[in-house]
Chains A and B, each alone.
Chain A
Amino acid sequence: AQSVAQPEDQVNVAEGNPLTVKCTYSVSGNPYLFWYVQYPNRGLQFLLKYITGDNLVKGSYGFEAEFNKSQTSFHLKKPSALVSDSALYFCAVRASYNFNKFYFGSGTKLNVKP
């Protein structure tokens, strides 16, 4: 069965420091992996995705994510956090052979303090 785990409900980081939001997944076959961000009272906004190729994927607003097949992880990173990055972040996975569901994690609230 496909699933996504985001082990941290909340991540706190000071502005200017690097940030990491963790995601691990379980999927049969090759995974398609996604990160979305959600600001208050807004829908989810696409940040980046891994389909194939280079394990380091760069996305919007300076975010990047590293795909690690052996650890089944797809952690979201940013070298220098901004207060405006404070939001709810969701990891999602879809199996490459299954054209049905996206599976979302439970979300991680990122708090960036000035």
Chain B
Amino acid sequence: EAGVAQSPRYKIIEKRQSVAFWCNPISGHATLYWYQQILGQGPKLLIQFQNNGVVDDSQLPKDRFSAERLKGVDSTLKIQPAKLEDSAVYLCASSSRLLAGDGNEQFFGPGTRLTVL
């Protein structure tokens, strides 16, 4: 099966500019995650969707970050305006379902490396 697709792979912008990342999960996967991975750290969850609804966005900086998954398939993460500290790899992941007691693993895309100058 095809994996999780992300684009672009690399992006360089200046601070205060806007940027958008796109993710297409594995076909049929209901749950989609966006993570931020700063160099030297583990992934930090930004937002989690179940179909087209938000399950958890408690760590999303909502003053500048937004995400949507309008049709319950692909998703877009936007940063507006960007700050220097947003430089990181943004990872998208999906899993087939998410119910209490579900041990399904996540499948990750290759990530988008963002550099904010």
Taking beta carbons and an 8 Å cutoff, which residues of A are in contact with B?
A: 4, 32, 34, 36, 41-46, 49, 51, 90, 94, 96-102, 104-107
Contact = CB atoms under 8 A, between A and B. Distances in A.
A34 B101 CA distance: 15
Contacts, number: 63
B100 A43 contact: no
Most chain B CB within 10 A, of A34, A100, A105, is at A100
Contacts of A36: 108
A42 B109 CA distance: 8
Name the prevailing secondary structure of the A interface residues. Answer: loop
Contacts of A42: 110-111
Contacts of B102: 99
B28 to A, nearest CB: 17
B42 A105 contact: yes
A49 B103 contact: yes
B45 A101 contact: yes
B114 to A, nearest CB: 14
